[in-house]
Amino acid sequence: MKKLLGIVVLGLLLSGNAYAEMESLPEGTTVNQLIKDGYKLIDTDSVAWSDNDGYGSVGTFYHLMKRNELVTCGVGNGKVSCWKP
C-alpha cells in the first residue's frame, strides 16, 4: 500500500506542469527578429516526422534566451511559429 501511495504521489508531482499554458508570439515573428531584439541563440534541434499520408517532413526548433526568458521557435514546411513555454 505504501508503494502504491508513493507511486501516485510521485506521478502527481511529475505531471504538475504538463498542461501549463504557452504564450504564442505574434504571427510573423522570426528567429532573426528575436536575435536583433537581444535574444541569444542557445540551442537548435532538427526533427523529422511522418504524416498519416506517408510523406515525411523535416523541421528545426530554435531555443533563444534573453535574461531568464526562454523563447522556442519551430520552423517546418515553410512556416515559423514562436512561443514562450
| 31 has pLDDT over 90 | yes
Place 78 in a pLDDT band, splitting at 50, 70 and 90. Answer: confident
Cell numbers of 33, please?
A: 527578429
User: Is residue 28 domain-resident?
Assistant: yes
User: Is residue 44 domain-resident?
Assistant: yes
User: Is residue 9 domain-resident?
Assistant: no
Domain range for 35? 20-84
Q: State residue 17 phi and psi, 5-degree precision.
A: -105, 10
Higher-pLDDT residue of 3 and 50 is: 50
Average pLDDT over residues 45-49: 90
Q: Who contacts 60 (Cβ-Cβ below 8 Å, separation ≥6)? A: 44, 45, 46, 47, 74, 75, 76
User: Is residue 36 domain-resident?
Assistant: yes
pTM over 0.75: no
| 20 has pLDDT over 80 | no
User: Is residue 8 domain-resident?
Assistant: no
Outline where DSSP puts E strands in 1-85. 23-24, 40-50, 56-66, 69-76, 79-84
| 59 has pLDDT over 70 | yes
Average pLDDT over residues 64-84: 93
User: How many independent structural domains does the chain possess?
Assistant: 1
* % of the chain surpassing 90 pLDDT: 52
